[in-house]
Chain A
Amino acid sequence: MELLLEAVSYSGVLALASVGLSLCIITTKVSNFAHADYVVIGAYSALLFKAFSNLTPYLSLPLAALVGGLAALLSYLLVFELLRARGAVTLMIASMALDLVIRAALQLFADYAQSSLGIFARGFVFRDAAVSLGGVKLEMLTIAAPLTSLSLLVLLYLLLFKTKLGIRMRAVAEDAELAEILGVNVKRTLSLSWFISGALAGVAGVFLPFRFSMSPDSGSFILLTLFAVVTLGGLGSLAGTLIASCLMGFAETLLVYGLSGLGVSTALRPLFAFSVIIFTLLLQPRGLAGLWSTERGASPWAWRRQ
Chain B
Amino acid sequence: MGLEAAVADVCILYTVYAILALSMELEYGELGLPNFAKAAFFAVGAFSAGALSARLGLMLLGLSWEGSFKERSWYYATLVSKEVARNPLLGAAILAAVLVVAVAVAAILGVIAAYPMLRLREDYLAITLIALGEVVRVTARNFDTIVGGTFGAGVVDVFAWAGSARYFAFLLFALGSLALLYAAYHRLSTSRYGRILRSIRDDELAALALGRNVWKLRMKTLALGSALAAVAGVIYALYMGAVNPDDFSVGKTFVVVMMVVLGGRGNPSGPLAGAALYILLDKILSFAKHLVAIPLDVNYLAYIIFGASLLAILRWRPEGLIPEKPPLTLRREVILSYLGGREAAEHLTNSLYSNFDNRRS
Mark B128-139 against chain A: 1 for CB-CB distance below 8 A, else 0: 100110110010
Q: Are A227 and B142 in contact (CB under 8 A)?
A: no
Q: Are A82 and B315 in contact (CB under 8 A)?
A: yes
**Candidates B123, B127, B204, B307; contact of A104 at CB < 8 Å:** B307
Q: Are A108 and B301 in contact (CB under 8 A)?
A: yes
Q: List 18 A-B contacts (CB under 8 A).
A: A31-B123, A31-B127, A88-B123, A89-B33, A89-B34, A92-B122, A94-B311, A98-B307, A98-B311, A100-B307, A101-B304, A101-B308, A104-B302, A105-B300, A268-B138, A274-B134, A281-B120, A304-B204
Within 8 Å of chain B (Cβ to Cβ): is A270?
yes
- Mark out the residues of chain B between 92 and 112 whose CB falls within 8 Å of any chain A CB in the assembled complex: none
Within 8 Å of chain B (Cβ to Cβ): is A298?
yes
Q: Are B251 and A100 in contact (CB under 8 A)?
A: yes
Within 8 Å of chain B (Cβ to Cβ): is A302?
yes
Complex: how many Å from CA A101 to CA B300? 9
Within 8 Å of chain B (Cβ to Cβ): is A305?
yes
Within 8 Å of chain A (Cβ to Cβ): is B254?
yes
Separation in Å of the B258 CB from the closest CB of chain A? 7
Complex: how many Å from CA A108 to CA B297? 7
Q: Are B121 and A305 in contact (CB under 8 A)?
A: no
Question: Which partner residue on chain A sits nearest B124 by CB separation?
Answer: A300
Within 8 Å of chain B (Cβ to Cβ): is A220?
yes
Within 8 Å of chain A (Cβ to Cβ): is B279?
no
Task: Count A-B pairs with CB separation below 8 Å.
Answer: 125
Complex: how many Å from CA A93 to CA B135? 21
Q: Chain A contacts of B138 at CB under 8 A?
A: 267-268, 270-271
Q: Are B301 and A302 in contact (CB under 8 A)?
A: no
Q: Are A298 and B122 in contact (CB under 8 A)?
A: no
Within 8 Å of chain A (Cβ to Cβ): is B332?
no
Q: A86-B318, A89-B34, A101-B307 are in contact. Are A305 and B119 (CB under 8 A)?
A: yes
Having A97-B306, A100-B254, A271-B135, one finds 18 other A-B pairs with CB under 8 Å, namely A31-B123, A86-B318, A89-B33, A94-B311, A96-B254, A97-B307, A97-B308, A97-B314, A101-B308, A104-B303, A107-B297, A111-B296, A111-B297, A274-B131, A274-B132, A274-B135, A300-B124, A302-B120
Within 8 Å of chain B (Cβ to Cβ): is A293?
no
Q: A86-B318, A108-B296, A108-B297 are in contact. Are A302 and B119 (CB under 8 A)?
A: yes
Complex: how many Å from CA A277 to CA B215? 22
